[in-house]
Amino acid sequence: MLWLVIKSLISGVLVGIVSEAAKRSAAMGALVASLPIVSVLGMVWLWQETKDTNRLADHAEATFWFVLPSLPMFLLIPALLRRGVGFWPSLMLGCVVTVGLYLAMTWLGPRLGLRLPF
């Protein structure tokens, strides 16, 4: 249980750092947010808990493929905001599109020969 609390605190602090950096500079916040900190932390936590190289390799590879469907969200949201759509509807639509693209990736990926472990 203590390990879960430690992981949660470290992860939460990183989200706070992104938020604070973005208040000072949109570019700096974006740079910090774009770093694969969460992915790296996830791999560290997974390694610490399992020491399973195959599981870690599968996780890292799947992370790569699942980052791709999330990228359009970061173009859609600013496009909507700049056209006068409110923040919450823009965020919601960005998330809905991303979920749809994730579903498409899980359906299409294996048909294209991608190994997406589930």
- Mean pLDDT per block of 10 residues along the chain (118 residues) reads 86 84 83 80 91 93 90 97 98 97 92 80
Look at residue 118 in the predicted model and tell me its pLDDT.
66
Helix axis angle, 37-50 to 53-67, nearest 10°: 160
Look at residue 68 in the predicted model and tell me its pLDDT.
92
